[in-house]
C-alpha cells in the first residue's frame, strides 16, 4: 500500500490526502514513487512532455524506468504536481552546455586569446619572417607577393598585365598570358553529386523471453514484457481503470489484460476500443481464457488485435490484426 501524504492546494488552501499510484516493473514487482511530504505542491498551468515524467528505480531488481509524475486535481480546478523525493524533471533530449571558455588554460577566451597570440607572433617575428612588414612599411604594387603582381615575372598579374587590360583570347579558347604565351584554361572541378543512401532494414527482434503465469500479476507482467518486446516504451498502469481486467498504457498504445477464467465478451472489447479512442491511441487485448465468438467479430471490425495468454507466458495471436502487429511491431 502506497504511503499517503497531505497535499494543500495553493489556490484555495484546501487539504487533500494523496497516495501515489503503483506501477508494474518488468520484473513483476510494484514500483511506487517516494513522495516528498516536506515540499509544497506546484500548480500546473500547462503540461510539457519533459516535466510529465519521473525516473524511479525498482526496489527489487534495481531497474530504472520512466513513469508519469504524480499529479492531483483539486475541485477548484487547479492541477497540482505532487513533489517526488530525490528526483527532478526528466529530460529526453541532450542538455545544452556552454563550451569551455578557456580550453587551453591561457586565461583568455575568444577574440582575446586570438589577439594575445597575434601580439606574441608579431613580437617574435613569426608572422613576418622576411621583415617586409612593420620595418619597411606595407607591400607595394609589383613587389613579390603583392595582390596585383607576381614579382618574379615583372609585376604581371595572375589574370593579365598590371595595367588592368584583359588578356587576349587565343584561338581555340586558350587564354594568352604575359608575352603572348598561351596559357591553359583552369579546370573546374565537377560538382558534388549526392547519392541516395541505401535503405536500412529494421533490426530483427530477439526471441521473446516469457514469464510463467501463476497469478494475475504474472499475467500483467507477461503482457507488459510482450509490449516492450514489440517496441513500445514507457509502459505503465493506465490512468483510467477499465470495467474489467487490468489496464496498461504505453506511448501510442492502450492494453487490457484479463487474467480471469471467463472468456472476454463483446462489451469488454468495445470498452477497450472506446478507451483507446478517448486517448487517441491504438489498443490491444490480452486474455487468459480466450474470447467469445461475437467478441472476435467485433474486434475484427473495430481493428483491435487479440492475444491469448498461455500458461507459459507467451501471448498467442487470436486474429489477423494480432499477426500484423507481431510482424510490424510498434
**Mean pLDDT across 110-135:** 46
Q: Between helices 320-328 and 293-302, what is the axis angle to 10°?
A: 50
Identify whether the C-beta of residue 284 lies closer than 8 Å to the C-beta of residue 268. Answer: no
Q: What is the pLDDT of residue 10?
A: 87
Does residue 139 carry a pLDDT above 70? no
Q: In terms of DSSP H, where are the helices of 231-302? A: 266-279, 293-302
Whole-number Å distance between alpha carbons of 292 and 280: 26
Mean pLDDT on 186-211: 64
Q: Is the pLDDT of residue 121 over 50?
A: no
- Select the more confidently predicted residue: 321 or 104: 321
- Model confidence at 118: pLDDT above 70: no
pLDDT at residue number 42? 84
Q: Which of 121-135, 177-191, 207-221 has the highest mean pLDDT?
A: 207-221
List the one residue out of 76, 78, 67 whose CA is nearest residue 41: 78
Q: Is the pLDDT of residue 268 over 90?
A: yes
Q: Which tens digits make up the pLDDT trace of 10-66?
A: 888 888 888 888 888 888 888 888 888 788 888 887 777 777 788 888 888 988 888
Name, in order, each residue with C-beta under 8 angstroms of 195's C-beta and a sequence gap of 6 or more. Answer: none
Of residues 308 and 123, the one with the higher pLDDT is: 308
Mean pLDDT, range 114-140, rounded to an integer = 47
Distance CA 117, CA 123 (A): 10
Cα–Cα nearest to 25, from 71, 58, 70, 74? 58
Q: Chain-wide mean pLDDT for the chain?
A: 73
Nearest-10 Cα torsion for 260, 261, 267, 269: 70
- Model confidence at 1, pLDDT cuts 50, 70, 90, reads low
Residue 176's pLDDT is what? 57
Q: What percent of the chain has pLDDT over 70?
A: 63
Does residue 205 have a pLDDT over 50? Answer: yes
C-alpha dihedral, 328 to 234 to 23 to 323, nearest 10°: 0
305: left (phi over 0), alpha (psi -120 to 50) or beta: beta
Bridge partners, 256 (sequence order): 247, 285
Distance (Å, rounded) from C-alpha 127 to C-alpha 121?
A: 6
Distance between CA atoms of residues 261 and 20, nearest Å: 30
Q: What is the mean pLDDT of residues 285-308?
A: 94
Indicate the DSSP class of residue 259.
Answer: -
Residue 226: predicted pLDDT: 94
Question: What pLDDT is attached to residue 19?
Answer: 83
Amino acid at each position: 500500500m502506497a504511503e499517503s501524504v497531505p497535499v494543500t492546494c495553493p489556490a484555495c488552501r484546501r487539504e487533500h490526502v494523496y497516495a501515489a499510484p503503483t506501477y508494474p516493473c518488468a520484473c513483476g514487482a510494484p514500483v511506487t514513487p517516494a513522495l516528498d511530504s516536506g515540499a509544497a505542491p506546484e500548480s500546473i498551468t500547462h503540461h510539457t512532455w519533459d516535466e510529465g515524467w519521473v525516473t524511479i528505480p525498482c526496489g527489487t531488481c534495481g531497474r530504472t524506468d520512466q513513469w508519469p509524475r504524480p499529479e492531483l486535481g483539486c475541485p477548484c480546478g487547479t492541477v497540482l504536481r505532487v513533489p517526488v523525493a530525490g528526483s527532478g524533471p526528466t529530460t529526453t533530449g541532450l542538455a545544452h552546455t556552454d563550451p569551455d571558455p578557456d580550453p587551453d588554460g591561457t586565461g583568455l577566451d575568444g577574440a582575446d586569446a586570438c589577439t594575445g597570440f597575434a601580439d606574441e607572433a608579431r613580437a617574435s617575428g613569426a608572422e613576418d619572417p622576411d621583415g617586409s612588414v612593420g620595418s619597411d612599411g606595407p607591400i607595394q604594387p609589383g613587389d613579390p607577393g603583392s595582390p596585383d603582381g607576381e614579382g618574379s615575372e615583372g609585376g604581371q598579374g595572375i589574370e593579365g598585365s598590371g595595367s588592368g587590360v584583359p588578356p587576349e583570347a587565343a584561338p581555340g579558347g586558350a587564354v594568352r598570358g604575359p608575352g603572348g604565351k598561351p596559357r591553359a584554361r583552369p579546370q573546374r572541378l565537377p560538382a558534388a553529386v549526392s547519392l541516395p543512401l541505401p535503405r536500412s532494414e529494421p533490426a530483427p527482434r530477439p526471441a521473446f523471453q516469457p514469464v510463467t503465469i501463476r497469478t494475475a500479476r504474472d499475467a500483467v507482467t507477461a503482457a507488459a514484457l510482450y509490449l516492450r518486446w514489440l517496441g513500445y516504451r514507457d509502459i505503465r498502469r493506465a490512468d483510467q481503470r477499465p470495467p474489467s481486467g487490468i489496464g496498461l498504457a504505453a506511448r501510442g498504445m492502450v492494453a487490457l489484460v484479463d487474467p480471469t477464467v471467463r472468456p472476454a465478451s463483446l462489451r469488454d472489447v468495445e470498452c477497450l476500443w472506446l478507451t483507446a479512442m478517448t486517448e487517441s491511441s491504438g489498443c490491444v487485448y490480452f486474455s487468459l481464457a480466450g474470447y467469445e465468438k461475437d467478441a472476435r467479430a467485433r474486434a475484427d471490425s473495430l481493428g483491435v488485435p487479440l492475444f491469448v495468454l498461455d500458461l507459459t507466458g507467451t501471448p498467442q495471436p487470436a486474429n489477423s490484426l494480432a499477426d500484423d502487429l507481431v510482424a510490424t511491431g510498434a
